[in-house]
């Protein structure tokens, strides 16, 4: 997780540097600083820093992975990665609900968007609870 933290922290540093360059460039070549771009780059830096901080925080709690070693080989990461449901329809339902919500929100159909939000919550609940209820229950 330290690698991911470094990547996002480097992205945050890049956005901060570009924000300063952008503010100086727009202030120099225009009548004033173009604040929409400055704020966009600032918020992008904050989001990247948020992700980097999360990965740095999680890196202290998990065991060291092969990706964290500088001299690791590909076969060091071999083994089981986790359980992935091969037949679940719930992710498709979440994607359909999210895309329909985006369409409803973008077109201003408030009731349609609210209905799609309910569909998203219901399908996400179904995805989470899939192996705790029904015939697949262990």
pLDDT in tens, the chain (138 residues): 788 899 999 999 999 999 999 999 999 888 889 999 999 999 999 999 999 999 999 888 888 777 777 788 888 878 777 777 788 899 999 999 999 999 999 999 999 999 999 999 999 999 888 888 766 665
Residues with Cβ within 8 Å of residue 19, at least 6 apart in sequence? 38, 41, 42, 45
pLDDT of residue 18: 97
Domain ranges of the chain: 2-77, 90-128
CA distances from 125 to 129, 130, 136 (A): 6, 8, 16
pLDDT of residue 99: 97
- Please state, in angstroms and rounded to a whole number, the distance separating the CA atoms of residues 89 and 85: 9
- Contact yes or no for 19/38 (Cβ under 8 A): yes
pLDDT of residue 137: 64
- Please state, in angstroms and rounded to a whole number, the distance separating the CA atoms of residues 90 and 126: 7
pLDDT of residue 88: 87
């Amino acid at each position: 997780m330290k690698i991911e933290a470094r990547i996002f922290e480097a992205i945050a540093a890049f956005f901060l540097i570009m924000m300063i360059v952008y503010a100086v460039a727009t202030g120099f070549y225009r009548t004033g600083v173009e604040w929409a771009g400055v704020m966009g780059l600032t918020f992008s830096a904050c989001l990247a820093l948020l992700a980097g901080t999360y990965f740095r925080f999680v890196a202290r709690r998990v065991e060291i992975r092969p990706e964290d070693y500088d001299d690791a080989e590909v076969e060091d990461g071999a083994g089981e990665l986790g359980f992935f449901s091969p037949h679940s329809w719930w992710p498709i339902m979440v994607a359909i609900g999210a895309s329909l919500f985006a369409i409803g929100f973008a077109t201003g159909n408030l009731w349609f968007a609210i209905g799609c939000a309910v569909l998203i919550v219901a399908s996400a609940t179904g995805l989470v609870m899939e192996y705790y209820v029904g015939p697949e229950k262990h």
